[in-house]
Amino acid sequence: MRDFVSFAIRNERGAYTPFILEDSVSAGHGSEFLAGCLNDTATFTPDERQQIRAWASHPPFRVWTTELVPDARLIQKDTIVSIFSNRHRDGWAYFYSHVGQSFNTFGCPLFLRNYTWCIFYAGSHCGWLCGGGRLALYKKDGDNWVFVKDWGSWVS
């Protein structure tokens, strides 16, 4: 899993350093896209779709740790909620001056087909109208993970 997560961080980092990850495992908009994934009979077998259903209902873990994502700076979900609550007049101004330029949310990866396929939700947040995310399938190709398809994405 660490191999895939390192790939995901490199893939999502963009120009922002350090890579800040919310510690809570996020379904994000991924839950909205899950129906498309579950109905994808051309890609997944009935057994795999059942495994996806079970994974969505009961992810293997709910919190990211430094052991799982050593290349990320973790920020607690409660901190994010507090920054963007009514407590701060402009949450993003406070975030930029006290935390960084962006933060990311990751879902719990689901590996299929002997760890050669991975379904993964990733989102990035960098301003009131700055961010995006998607629920996607990646396939292992040698030492690399390659994007195959997604079942929805969002951009703001």
SS3 track for 81-148: HHHCCCCCCCHHHHHHHHCCCCEEEECCCEEECCCCEEEEEEEEEEECCEEEEEEEEEEEECCEEEEE
High-pLDDT (> 90) share of the chain, % = 77
pLDDT band at 30 (very low <50, low <70, confident <90, very high): low
pLDDT given at position 10: 86
Distance (Å, whole) CA 48 – CA 53: 9
Contact 63, 24 (CB under 8 A): yes
- Give residue 98's pLDDT: 95
pLDDT at position 82: 93
The predicted structure's pLDDT at residue 129? 92
pLDDT greater than 70 at residue 31: no
Nearest to 120 by CA among 154, 81, 80, 148: 148
Which helix (DSSP H) or strand (DSSP E) does residue 22 occupy? strand 20-22
φ/ψ of 80, rounded to 5, equals -60, -50
pLDDT at 15: 61
